[in-house]
Chains A and B, each alone.
Chain A
């Protein structure tokens, strides 16, 4: 059992969630309300990481963030962080490939809130922050929760992008999914079995828990 890979996957998933949750709340809420030409195109762009083969995404990220690219060189010079074959780079990649998993459920949740509710709250003298915190967020909560769970579990399981971007370095970029692949190649089928089992159980429990929680939240309302 490669506990180092397990922890690395947890670290990556937690960090991804921390970066993406505020972004997803803002983008999802905005997309749910905004009406403008080209919205369909923007929504398509948000969903793109979901339908693109992970190797395509990984390849573009490798090219875009590598040492020879403008972004990669700038980050390396200014922040002193290398974005390929490092945890930082993996985090950037992970944020990108999780955008649809975070934004979509949140957008749907905010869309299902009647617009006159916010207007009524505004007339009652609530500030925009109070409306968001006290009216909209509690109503959108099941969507936000499932977005978080999906993002977390998807990060634990993502393989293609991590393989392209990460380079399989223990303790730095060897996540659980990569470690399983490595174990199978190295004829350690027992090790692969254990880790695959852990991932299976974790994913099932997390998704089931989110369904359970959402169902309860909906009933309570």
Chain B
């Protein structure tokens, strides 16, 4: 390759611009000849690397263009069940990515290539819509609920009214409590509101272990290193988690509702709208309900244009 370039490319190497460029650099490269070798190496490399995205794109096309969904992590188990059903029904491929709604919001603002955003808090969707990034203002797909998850063997009682939590704070049974980060995770924000509602926030704050998202908080809550955690019902009732401890709902009136809104991003393929319709179907709603989501009243479930 180097020889071929050298034979054919002498004109390039003798071009005044190149000579000037290389003379100024020849001190660092050591010699003329070495400089040419380096340039050829880089030329080959650039050629080779420019092929990488092409090959990657082709291999992606061979498997069908996947629909990329950024989903709030409370949907982890429900969507893991619904995703394959959608793929079977429509033949589209889904890429489900779970995380904190607040993080997805910042990433989408930075141009993250997601097609559908399923937020645990509708405010993030509205802000994206105001920024002109979405196809419309989205649709409410569910209401989330929070509760106290207590792992097996914990001295804490699963008491949704948080009375035993207050007692455990007094008598020192509570060492660590897990919840999602209230700075950017909706479930963390609502957990903070509930704790503030019963006047426990100041006392609990030094004992908190914050998960990046509610799924991580649930993992912390059941890890055995904490006495419990305030997490999403949709995670606590999932088979992978429900065996690890017991769960009690916190009254919904203690915090702002977790209005979960999904939206299709502007650059999304038509399959994104199909996915939105799929999630509004009775079968999908039944699955969401089974995972502890409350369903929105019908008018709110209608698409808002």
Contacts and interface: CB of A to CB of B under 8 A. Distances in A.
Nearest to B103: A167
Interface in B18-61: 28-34, 37-38, 41-42, 45, 48-49, 52-53, 56, 60
Contact of A167 (B48, B107, B240, B241): B107
Given A87-B53, A186-B215, A66 B98 contact: no
B84 to A, nearest CB: 14
A185 B33 contact: no
Interface residues of B, number: 41
Nearest to B52: A15
A129 interface: yes
B38 A22 contact: yes
10 contacts: A26-B38, A29-B30, A30-B28, A68-B110, A84-B110, A129-B31, A167-B107, A168-B99, A169-B97, A187-B222
A132 interface: yes
A62 B112 CA distance: 11
Interface in A96-151: 127-129, 132
Contacts of B41: 22
**Which secondary structure dominates where chain B touches chain A?**
helix
Ranked nearest first, the 3 interchain pairs of A and B with the lowest CB-CB distance are A128-B31, A67-B111, A187-B240
A82 interface: yes
B38 A169 contact: no
Given A66-B110, A127-B33, A169 B219 contact: no
B56 A87 contact: yes
Contacts of A128: 30-34
Interface of B: 28-34, 37-38, 41-42, 45, 48-49, 52-53, 56, 60, 66, 68, 73, 76, 95, 97-99, 107, 110-113, 212-213, 215-216, 218-219, 222, 238, 240-241
B98 A169 contact: no
B34 A129 contact: yes
Contacts of A81: 53
Given A15-B52, A129-B31, A86 B98 contact: no
Given A85-B113, A171-B60, A185-B219, 4 more contacts: A127-B31, A128-B31, A169-B112, A185-B213
A53 interface: no
B43 to A, nearest CB: 11
Contacts of B66: 171
Interface of A: 15, 18-19, 22, 26, 29-30, 34, 62, 66-68, 81-82, 84-88, 127-129, 132, 167-172, 182, 184-188
A82 B111 contact: yes
A168 B37 CA distance: 38
Given A22-B42, A129-B31, A186 B111 contact: no
Contact of A86 (B48, B76, B95, B113): B113
Contacts of A182: 98
A127 B95 CA distance: 55
A185 B216 contact: yes
Contacts of B212: 185
Given A67-B110, A167-B112, A186 B31 contact: no
A81 B212 CA distance: 29
B24 to A, nearest CB: 14
A127 B242 CA distance: 72
A62 B103 CA distance: 13
A62 B32 CA distance: 38
Contacts of B110: 62, 66-68, 84-85
Given A67-B111, A84-B110, A186-B215, A132 B97 contact: no
